[in-house]
Amino acid sequence: MYVAWRLGVDDPKNSWKTKSILVLEAADECAGRLRSIQHPALGYTANLGSMRYLRQQLLMGGLVCEFSKELTPYGHDYPTAFWHLRGRRMRFKANGRLAKLGEAFDREPMVANRGAYLVNYEEEFGLEPGAVVERALRKALGVIAEDPLTKIAAAKEGHEVEIESLCKKLVELKDNGQLKFSSLTPKEWDLLRKYGHHNGAPLYRQSLWDLLHKNSSFEAYLLVQDGLGYQGIVGLWNAAEAIVWFVREFESSSDLFQSK
């Protein structure tokens, strides 16, 4: 559809102006990867397909403005009322803590068959899936800051001052910060991707799966995998890229938009 539209409006010689552009669609509607389905039981319409885009995606944003003349902000501040996992109904507060302690997890995490997820009680008890990932990433960033190979790798290419400043920020984020994309500058995110080392290995040679397993309990990882609903995003893809993507994608930000 996009190519057909461009052929119709951008041909410098106007050779397509006098010709018809035929679009063949195998499905019964022309919607690309977007589809609206009426839920038979609940009566509301669910939109399947791409649902949001970033301010930095200039092609997408420009195309939306071409047709709708406005960008509609998109955020993740909508409430999730309940999670239904492992045969249990769980409810979390907006700040990542359980509404009622013990509703989803057992107070004694080593007692089998009582809590839905036997997470680390001291550090992970009561955290909702997204908060588990944020905590694990903050912990991982602290390990990266303390790994001597992070500074050594950056110093070899003349970035001693920048990496020293970055490591101080990472330690602060680990201890008491809220991890957001704006927590670091674009250049600092690039330094992290290129020179960051976690437990002696470059960050770009590790997967997000490895990183989460090293910085959270196995049961907490399963909670994330089950509760987020997107198993692929916590799987075997490059940790250096995944950290930046996850932080940017899941924070409520003015950089996210949707089309009407």
Question: What six digits make up the tokens of 9?
Answer: 């409006």
Q: What angle do CA 155, 161, 162 make, to 5 degrees?
A: 90
For 235: left if phi > 0, alpha if psi spans -120 to 50, otherwise beta; the answer is beta
Confidence at residue 259, expressed as pLDDT on a 0 to 100 scale: 64
> Residues 127, 109: contact at Cβ < 8 Å?
no
**Single-letter residue type at 225:** Q
In a domain, 176, yes or no: yes
Owning domain of residue 14: 1-49
- Domain shared by 105 and 33, yes or no: no
Number of domains in the chain: 2
In a domain, 63, yes or no: no
* Paired sense of beta strands 88-90 and 35-38, if any: unpaired
Confidence at residue 109, expressed as pLDDT on a 0 to 100 scale: 37
Confidence at residue 136, expressed as pLDDT on a 0 to 100 scale: 92
In a domain, 208, yes or no: yes
Three-state SS annotation for 150-212 = HHHHHHCCCCHHHHHHHHHHHHHHHHHCCCCHHHCCHHHHHHHHHHCEECCEEHHHCEHHHHH
- Domain shared by 99 and 210, yes or no: yes
Chain centroid to CA 209: 14
- Domain shared by 110 and 14, yes or no: no
How many angstroms separate the CA atoms of 65 and 223, rounded? 39
The secondary structure of 38-102 as a DSSP string is: E-TTT--EEEES---EETT-HHHHHHHHHHHSS-EE--S-S----EEETTEEE-B-TTSSBSSTT
> Residues 250, 215: contact at Cβ < 8 Å?
no
- Domain shared by 134 and 29, yes or no: no
Residue 155 contacts by C-beta under 8 Å, 6 or more apart in sequence?
163
- Sequential pLDDT tens for the chain (260 residues): 777 777 777 766 666 566 677 877 776 666 556 677 777 777 777 767 666 777 767 777 777 777 776 667 765 555 555 677 787 777 664 444 443 333 444 343 333 334 678 888 778 877 778 888 888 999 999 999 999 999 999 999 999 999 999 999 999 988 877 788 888 998 999 999 999 999 999 999 999 999 999 999 998 898 888 888 777 788 888 999 999 888 877 665 556 676 66
Confidence at residue 195, expressed as pLDDT on a 0 to 100 scale: 96
Nearest in space to 197 (alpha carbons), one of 231, 229, 166, 228: 166
User: What are the tens digits of pLDDT across the range 13-22?
Assistant: 666 566 677 8
In a domain, 210, yes or no: yes
- Domain shared by 41 and 89, yes or no: no
Nearest in space to 227 (alpha carbons), one of 137, 121, 119: 119
In a domain, 62, yes or no: no
In the block, residue with structure tokens 């552009």: 21
- Domain shared by 109 and 35, yes or no: no
In a domain, 72, yes or no: no
- Domain shared by 7 and 114, yes or no: no
Q: CA of 82: how far to CAs of 79, 94, 106, 131, 163, in Å?
A: 9, 12, 18, 15, 42
